[in-house]
Amino acid sequence: MLKNKKLAFFMAAVFAAASLPCQAAETWVLSGPDGWENVQDSPQGAFLLAISKIKQQIEAGNSRQAIRALEGLKIDYPQFDGPDLDLFIEAETLYSKTVLSKAARQYNRILTEHPDSPLYAAASERLYSIGAAYAGGQKRAFLKILRFPAHDEGEKILRGLADRGGNSPLAYRCLLTVAENQERRDLFLDAYQTWAEIADRWPTGEYGRQALLRMAQSLHAAYTSPHFDATVLRGAASYFEDYQQRYPDSARQLEIPDTLDLIVEQQAYRHFFTGLYYERLEKEDAATMYYERVAADWPGTKAADMADRH
């Protein structure tokens, strides 16, 4: 575990260094008992910097230049030549040509077949980019002619990465992206389930706070009219109350007390609406039962006032 953490820190420093301007090229990382060393003095550091620069070329649209650089990796860094590098070169070439689905399969093979590869982090980031693009609405080519939304494939990629990542920052990013895209597509009950998964993995801290809030908001958003089951309202109220108790200052800023009042009105109105339905069917006893319940359970609400007039 310690070895993996040190490798992850090392690779993060390398990829961060590659994003800096040329005049800030020197980057130092901890290296064993001798303290700090320049990543360029390390063979693996130089290799990963080359990989990161190739990724930048692809992102900038310089695909031909990037492909030439990929082809030169085996010559420039023969000590890292192997099946994982072969897969990465193939995946990056496909990615540069926007053949994302096939590229994703090759990146995934690196993670599955070569978990100790120095290319693991780069492949993971590429997979995240593909998954996020698909989940966000980018279409997938079919038979090289038709293009269809690939939301499900994107979510599958992101969830696979999250399962591999445990409680890592990348795992959180993956689940966050899934949840936010589900909300964007009005899949609020699905989003609630994803936020609940996030809350289960990160129950405390900022991640846990945000997950609790978004669980409540997703359930509340799932209730669209009195025609629907009010279970989501009760669930939303419970989570909002929990949030208010745990984070009172934030709850006041977010006007959660007003939201809880709104939920009370929505619950009351749903039962009033049911009474109105029975009244229109001329089932007076059933209608009266619902009106009386509204007045008894939610006094002071607008729905209770309307129920009193019926």
Burial class (CB in 10 A: 0-12, 13-18, 19+), 54: buried
CA distances from 9 to 14, 15, 28, 40 (A): 9, 10, 12, 16
Whole-angstrom Cα distance, residue 22 to residue 148?
A: 41
Query: At a CB cut-off of 8 Å and minimum separation 6, what does 277 contact?
Result: 287
Q: What SS3 state is found at 309?
A: coil
Q: What SS3 state is found at 301?
A: coil
Residue 149 has pLDDT above 80, yes or no: no
Tokens of 37: 């060393």
**Cβ atoms of 212 and 239 closer than 8 Å:** yes
Note the pLDDT tens digit of each residue in 214-227: 999 999 999 988 77
Tokens of 88: 């990465």
Query: At a CB cut-off of 8 Å and minimum separation 6, what does 122 contact?
Result: 11, 15, 48, 51, 52, 55, 88
Residue reference for tokens 């997979």: 127
Residue 174 has pLDDT above 70, yes or no: yes
Greatest distance between any 2 Cα atoms in the chain? 88
Note the pLDDT tens digit of each residue in 262-309: 998 888 888 787 877 777 887 887 877 877 787 777 788 887 677 667
Question: How do 36-38 and 139-142 pair as beta strands?
Answer: unpaired
Helix (H) or strand (E) holding 147: strand 146-149
**Could you report how far apart the first and last alpha carbons of the chain are, in Å?**
68
Selected residue with higher pLDDT from 142 and 42: 42
Q: Which of 2-6, 55-59, 226-230 reaches the highest mean pLDDT? A: 55-59
pTM: 0.79
Band (186; pLDDT cuts 50, 70, 90): very high
- Would you say the C-alpha torsion 63, 68, 74, 77 has a positive or negative sign? negative
